[in-house]
Amino acid sequence: MGDGASVRVEDVRKSFGTGDGLIAAVDGISLDVPAGRSVALVGASGSGKSTLLHLIGAIERPDAGRVVVDGQDVTGLGRRAAAHYRRTVGFVFQRFHLLPGLSALDNVLAPVLPRKAGFDRDTRARELLAAVGLAGRETALPSQLSGGQQQRVAVARALIGRPRLLLADEPTGSLDSATGEQLMDLVSALAAEHGCTLMVATHDMGVAERCADVVRLRDGKLTGTAIRGRGWAGPARGGLTGPA
Amino acid sequence: MLGMITGQLRRQAVRTLTLLLGVLVATAGFTLLTGSVETSRLEVKASADANFRAAYDILVRPTGARSGREASTGQVRPNFLSGQFGGITSAQWRQIAGIRGVEIAAPVAMLGYVQARTYARVDVTGQLDPTADRQLLRLRSTWRTDRGLSEARDPGATYVYVTSNPVVLPDAGSTRDAPDWSRVYTYRGRPLSDIGLALSRGKTVCDLGEMPPLEVLPGGKFEPLCAIRKVAGLDGEAATDQLDPAQRSRLVVMQRHPDGTFTSGTDVHNRTSGRHAVADVSWPMTLLLAAVDPAQEARLVGVDRAVVAGRYLRDGEKPVVKEEAGSRFADIPLVSTTRPYLDEQLTTTVSRATGPLPKLSGRGADDLRRLLAALPVGAGATTRADADAVFRRSVADGTMKVNPFVVLQAGSPRYPADGSVLRPPPVAQDTSELWLQETIGGDPPAWFVQDTAFRPVTRLPGTEPGAQHFPDFKVVGTYDLDRLTSFSKLSEVPLETYRPPAARAADDASRAALGDRALAPNSNPGGYLATPPQLLTTLESVEAVTGPDSPHAEDPISAVRVRVAGVSGMDAASRERIRKVAETITNRTGLEVDITAGSSPAPQRVELARGTFGRPALALTENWTAKGTAVALVEAADRKSVLLFGLVLGVCAMFLGNAVAASVRTRQRELAVLACTGWTGARLAGLVLGEVALVGAVAGAAGAGLSFPLGWVFGLEVSAGRALLAVPLVVATALLAGAAPAIRAGRPYPARALRGAVAGPRRARRAGRGRTLLGLAVTGVLRTPARSALGALALAVGVAAVSLLTAIMWTFHGTVQGTLLGDAVSLEVRGVDVAAAVLTAALGLFALADVLYLDGCERDGEFAMLRACGWADTEVMRLVVVQGTVIGASGALLGAGTGLALTVAFTGSLPAGLPGAGALVAAAGALAAVASSAVAAGLAVRRSPAGPLAEDG
């Protein structure tokens, strides 16, 4: 297992245009996440959690500032380099985004489908499905799985490429509380097991509590950070340097 | 409601504009296409009209004249009437001429092939020894035909005996009306009665009845120079085989005067003098003789106006007949063409006998022939001559004589039914028997009459040996074929009676052999190519030619060519006039009647077996004639119009249906919300239909308006009526196409729609299918089968349009297969057809791209997920392209198959080669689908993946 990726966010800003003008989704956020740490981004709807995750995952490019992952500035990457970088990142989405025509196993394999991998893809996919508790459901279609099961498939899919950074955007948002908690336990455990740095965007404090650190956002700004057992720090810079 | 409709369209401005553009293109295309179809139909009609009429409208032939091939294919061979002898009576002809509506009824009676004697004039002065008192030249002839491929050295020779001794020529004319042998020869005013009487009694070495020239030997002795060919006796001796090599030599006697001039001839009335020694080499040519009614023929093709020398035949002109001593002598009036249209050449080699010349006079024919043949000769000089030039000169100077004693009739070639290539088999013929002759002065026929025959040759009994019937032809005038009334080359029919045939090479070997020239007829009456008649006489002369015992003595006419009054083109009235006259002729005479108006030459491949004189086997293309071509062309154009209308509307409906269905799919949630707020199903359906109708109306009006400048640019006439008609038609099509999606919109399941769940497959698919790009693409195709089917169908319609139009053009061409008129018209309409097919296919591709684009929009989240997982944009694009290719290939195959099936349904046949063309069209369609998919793929990765993935801020 690796040690996970370190993430450094430096004064990142991102705005989106609407009919009423520009809205700052992320407004000058700076954040340091040590390698292997699990971090929850919490805040109300529209606080900028998902946008921040997208910026870290190089799905979006910031208007200003930069994101450095393991020493690599990922903000200026071209489309091909960005795609290459994203292969080192695992994504879990609220709505799962499974391919409805593919079996659970094939969905797990989807990220590595276009290219060769340095491992036995099929075996790893089966292991991951087993790890998320879906052994024996490899051939099931998404429509034949419950919401919680579909999100487990999504988690397995996120881990297929051996990522060093796992980004989860409201992973329990479409699940009931109990299922959500189970899933979050699973994600945390798997992230730890696979040596991933975990960043989870959520508005559910129950989910956030399963992470080592919590970063609070409001209106695109970082309003506070908390390291488990140390209480909230100031808003200026989210330095998460405590023990994982 | 209207506010909601316009609001919805405004909200989705790009989508609305796309729809508008598609419908606009479809409307403008529809308007232009229908206009162009009408234009092409008009062009077809104009071309057909312009080339509708040949020299005559109706051809009447004897019962049973149609060959099996003509009956089955509707095609007739060129100059086929040249092989049609008799079968219609004069009474029937008059009956036809009397039918109301008949403007001209021109009969033609093919009488047969006769032999014309012409002479090639060979100047031998340069070969003479000016110091010799007596000398002999030998002229050997080599004949060539078939563009030099057939060559024959004539076994006979022309010997020219040049002597300084006086030569006494006979006065043969003194014996015709009142034979007086005592006055046949006169020398210096003194009749040589003893010699004449001796000859008449056979008391010389020469044949009985022969009048040879006499050489006056030193010492005053008169000795005959006998002919070296056998002259048949007057007393019924055995007939002469004119092809006997021994009969083909002759002796020309020439006196050289002290002043250096020469005199030669066979008779005192037929001698020539001059400073040059000119030997006449006999050149027999076989010509076709036909009898016509001079007045009707003049009206039909203007033969009277084409006469360039002498006079035309007089109406009702009869032979001048004299009965003498139980025999009938008839001078038959003839007009001759200026050219024989025979492909024959002569090379003459002139050699002088070397060594002392023995005495030639006083020897019998056999003795003299043997002597001459054995004389050694020196090196020779050659001269060349062509049949055309020799015939022209012989006709012009009146030396052309037509032998009346052998009249041969040649039938038609036989064509075994073995496919599209015709291979007429050679036929056996006994040329010795055919050319047997028992008369004085008979000339040997052309050596090529022994060439391979493809048409059976028979001899008229009226001219059998022994018949006491002595016709003689008098050429009263000559006419120039080129001055006859000309008709369109696209609609000429075989009895443009006077058109010389020509068969062009059909393959490289034949082309090389023929030197890129057409094969033309020669003097062989049984040869494959039949000449048009080169000699014309009157119907009143027929009996004089054929004799009273001819099998067609009562019905000598071969065909009657009829022009119908009041025919101005191929309009319905004209066609009805022709049809009515044809029907009346059939009912009244029972003869075979064909409407020839609207016919067109149709090239036909013929393979000829090798000839006897060196011509190799040849592959040729002959201009046969397809009857009724013009009518078939217009009918084919009408059929095409109907199909094009259907196709254009089909593509319109497909495109709109796809667009409306996609619109309903993407707005399920919105419609569900409306349903939850109390909108009825009918109102929801009305909302959807209202949108599509508005788009149809606006785009239809714009498209109709656009069609005017576009029509001007492309040179197509767009009528306001048709443009206006397009608007309601497009709106109706839009409503029809939107009906099914609107009904679906009218019965939404609000809860399900609001949940936003995309329905997954109803059953598990084969595991592992999604582990390859192709498998993933196929899964994507099958996930939304209706949408994929719509995309495939859209392209299928386009491809079907192309393949169907290809097939139509093919069949359209095939309807008039290979006819010159058909080819010409096909060229005219091909541009419009291609434009129509391209537009239809472009619309199909546009619809396919739209399907893929909408699919991409709906699967935005999936693609975003894949990109978030590390798929490069190019990998996502490849997935879309493969998916589009799968749909496109299915549509292309379906379209090509449908096109072929429709072809079979419409035409009842599948032309050979069309499946291959269909496969090509399908491949092109699939390739175009790939290109179209690439556009949709580009659009699929244009947006950032963050949007579809963001569920929360």
Give me the residue spans of the domains in chain A: 1-88+163-244, 99-161
pTM flag (> 0.90):
no
For residue B247, pLDDT beyond 80: no
Taking every pair of C-alpha atoms in chain A, what is the biggest distance, in angstroms? 51
Q: What pLDDT does B293 receive?
A: 95
Which of A16, A59, A218 to mutate: most B Cβ within 10 Å? A59
Q: What pLDDT does B308 receive?
A: 93
> What are the tens digits of pLDDT across the range A128-139?
898 888 888 888
Handedness of CA B722, B725, B727, B729 (dihedral sign): negative
Chain A residues with CB under 8 Å of B950 CB are 50-51, 54, 169
- Residues 524-553, chain B: which have Cβ within 8 Å of A? none
| Dist CA B787 CA B850 (whole Å) | 11
Cα separations in angstroms, B948 against A54, A101, A153, B37, B952 = 12, 19, 19, 48, 11
Cα separations in angstroms, B725 against B33, B427, B729, B734, B918 = 13, 66, 6, 14, 34
Q: Tell which wins on pLDDT, B283 or B266.
A: B283
For residue B177, pLDDT beyond 70: no
Greatest mean pLDDT among B26-40, B252-266, B407-421: B252-266
Cα of B875 to nearest chain A Cα, Å: 7
Cα of A218 to nearest chain B Cα, Å: 10
Mean pLDDT computed over B831-837: 62
Q: What pLDDT does B593 receive?
A: 84
Q: What pLDDT does B350 receive?
A: 95
Q: What pLDDT does B150 receive?
A: 94
| Dist CA B531 CA B521 (whole Å) | 6
Helix (H) or strand (E) holding B44: helix B13-50
Q: How many contacts, defined by CB atoms under 8 Å, are there between A and B?
A: 150
Say if the Cβ atoms of B765 and A91 lie within 8 Å. Answer: no
Mean pLDDT computed over B529-539: 89
Q: What pLDDT does A244 receive?
A: 37
With beta carbons less than 8 A apart as the criterion, state whether B345 and B383 touch. Answer: no
For residue B101, pLDDT beyond 80: yes
Q: What pLDDT does A143 receive?
A: 86
Cα separations in angstroms, B844 against B651, B795, B879 = 7, 4, 21
Handedness of CA B600, B604, B609, B611 (dihedral sign): positive
Q: What pLDDT does B952 receive?
A: 40
Give the chain B residue whose CA is nearest to the CA of A57.
B868
> What are the tens digits of pLDDT across the range A48-77?
888 999 999 888 889 999 999 998 999 888
CA nearest neighbour of B543 among B704, B385, B321, B691: B321
Count CB-CB contacts under 10 A for residue B285. Answer: 23
Res. B322 pLDDT band, cuts 50 70 90: confident
**With pLDDT > 90 as the criterion, what percentage of chain B qualifies?**
21
Say if the Cβ atoms of A111 and B869 lie within 8 Å. Answer: yes
Cα of A99 to nearest chain B Cα, Å: 6
Burial A81-116 (b: 16+ CB within 10 A, else e): ebbebbbbbbbbbbbbbbbbbbbbbbbbbbbbbbee
Q: What pLDDT does B758 receive?
A: 43
**ipTM of the complex, rounded to two decimals:** 0.85
Q: Is B215 helix (H, G, I), strand (E, B) or coil?
A: strand
Q: Tell which wins on pLDDT, B676 or A125.
A: A125
Q: What pLDDT does A73 receive?
A: 92
Q: Is the CB of residue B347 less than 8 Å away from at least one CB of chain A? A: no
Res. B96 pLDDT band, cuts 50 70 90: very high
φ, ψ of residue B64 in degrees (nearest 5): 85, 5
Q: Which two tokens stand for residue B55?
A: 């020299």
Burial B55-73 (b: 16+ CB within 10 A, else e): bbbbbbbbeebbbebbeeb
Give the chain A residue whose CA is nearest to the CA of B768.
A106
Say if the Cβ atoms of B779 and A91 lie within 8 Å. Answer: no
Q: What angle do CA B806, B807, B813 make, to 5 degrees?
A: 95
Count CB-CB contacts under 10 A for residue A237. Answer: 15
Say if the Cβ atoms of A106 and B870 lie within 8 Å. Answer: no
- Helices and strands (H and E) in chain B: how many: 24, 30
φ, ψ of residue B268 in degrees (nearest 5): -65, -25
Which residue among A54, A113, A115 sits closest to B946, beta carbon to beta carbon?
A54
Chain B residues with CB under 8 Å of A203 CB are 952
Res. B258 pLDDT band, cuts 50 70 90: very high
Lowest mean pLDDT across A26-40, B159-173, B404-418, B763-777: B763-777
- Helices and strands (H and E) in chain A: how many: 7, 12
Q: What pLDDT does B256 receive?
A: 95
Cα of B882 to nearest chain A Cα, Å: 13
Chain A residues with CB under 8 Å of B766 CB are none
- Residues 771-810, chain B: which have Cβ within 8 Å of A? 771-773, 776, 779-780, 782-783
For residue B329, pLDDT beyond 80: no
| Dist CA B786 CA B806 (whole Å) | 29
Count CB-CB contacts under 10 A for residue B858. Answer: 15
- Residues 757-776, chain B: which have Cβ within 8 Å of A? 758-761, 764-765, 767-773, 776
With beta carbons less than 8 A apart as the criterion, state whether B522 and B344 touch. Answer: yes
* Helices B820-858 and B860-868, packing angle to 10 deg: 70
φ, ψ of residue A28 in degrees (nearest 5): 75, 45
Res. B781 pLDDT band, cuts 50 70 90: confident
CA nearest neighbour of B593 among B580, B575, B576, B574: B580
| Dist CA B319 CA A75 (whole Å) | 114
Q: What is the CA radius of gyration of chain A?
A: 17
Q: Is the CB of residue B126 less than 8 Å away from at least one CB of chain A? A: no
Give the chain A residue whose CA is nearest to the CA of B879.
A114
| CATH topology for the A1-88+163-244 domain | Rossmann fold (3.40.50)
For residue B382, pLDDT beyond 60: yes
Q: What pLDDT does B827 receive?
A: 47
For residue A13, pLDDT beyond 90: yes
Q: What pLDDT does A242 receive?
A: 38
Which residue among A51, A87, A107 sits closest to B870, beta carbon to beta carbon?
A87
Q: What pLDDT does B901 receive?
A: 81
With beta carbons less than 8 A apart as the criterion, state whether B263 and B271 touch. Answer: yes
Res. B231 pLDDT band, cuts 50 70 90: low
> What are the tens digits of pLDDT across the range B598-655?
676 777 888 999 999 999 999 998 877 776 655 555 555 555 555 656 666 676 677 6
With beta carbons less than 8 A apart as the criterion, state whether B103 and B581 touch. Answer: no
Mean pLDDT computed over A186-206: 86
Q: Tell which wins on pLDDT, B550 or B281.
A: B281
Which residue among A84, A88, A101 sits closest to B780, beta carbon to beta carbon?
A101
Q: Is the CB of residue B603 less than 8 Å away from at least one CB of chain A? A: no
Q: What angle do CA B660, B664, B669 make, to 5 degrees?
A: 165
With beta carbons less than 8 A apart as the criterion, state whether A121 and A111 touch. Answer: no
Cα of A61 to nearest chain B Cα, Å: 10
Q: What pLDDT does B642 receive?
A: 58
Q: Which two tokens stand for residue B509?
A: 């070997």
Mean pLDDT of chain B: 79
Burial B510-540 (b: 16+ CB within 10 A, else e): beebbeeebbbbbbbbbbbbbbbbbbbbbbb
Q: What pLDDT does B494 receive?
A: 45
Lowest mean pLDDT across A172-176, A240-244, B433-437, B460-464: A240-244
Which residue among B783, B944, B953 sits closest to A48, beta carbon to beta carbon?
B953
Cα of B754 to nearest chain A Cα, Å: 15
Q: Name the DSSP letter for residue B761.
A: -
Q: Which two tokens stand for residue B822?
A: 């058909």
For residue B147, pLDDT beyond 90: yes
Mean pLDDT computed over B164-178: 76
Which of A113, A138, A145 to mutate: most B Cβ within 10 Å? A113
Say if the Cβ atoms of A114 and B953 lie within 8 Å. Answer: no
Q: Tell which wins on pLDDT, B365 or A199.
A: A199
Q: Name the DSSP letter for residue B519.
A: B
Q: What pLDDT does B2 receive?
A: 67
Q: What pLDDT does B80 receive?
A: 73
Q: Tell which wins on pLDDT, B755 or B278.
A: B278
Mean pLDDT computed over B179-198: 83
Q: Is the CB of residue B952 less than 8 Å away from at least one CB of chain A? A: yes
Q: Is the CB of residue B580 less than 8 Å away from at least one CB of chain A? A: no
For residue B554, pLDDT beyond 90: no
Q: Is B284 helix (H, G, I), strand (E, B) or coil?
A: strand
Q: What angle do CA B169, B171, B177 make, to 5 degrees?
A: 160
Q: Tell which wins on pLDDT, B752 or B452.
A: B452
Say if the Cβ atoms of B951 and A169 lie within 8 Å. Answer: yes
Which residue among B759, B776, B872 sits closest to A83, beta carbon to beta carbon?
B872
Which residue among A83, A106, A107 sits closest to B871, beta carbon to beta carbon?
A83
With beta carbons less than 8 A apart as the criterion, state whether A31 and A8 touch. Answer: yes
Q: Tell which wins on pLDDT, B613 or A16.
A: B613
Which of A49, A56, A106, A218 to mutate: most B Cβ within 10 Å? A106
Q: Is B49 helix (H, G, I), strand (E, B) or coil?
A: helix
For residue B392, pLDDT beyond 50: yes
For residue B834, pLDDT beyond 80: no
Res. B253 pLDDT band, cuts 50 70 90: very high
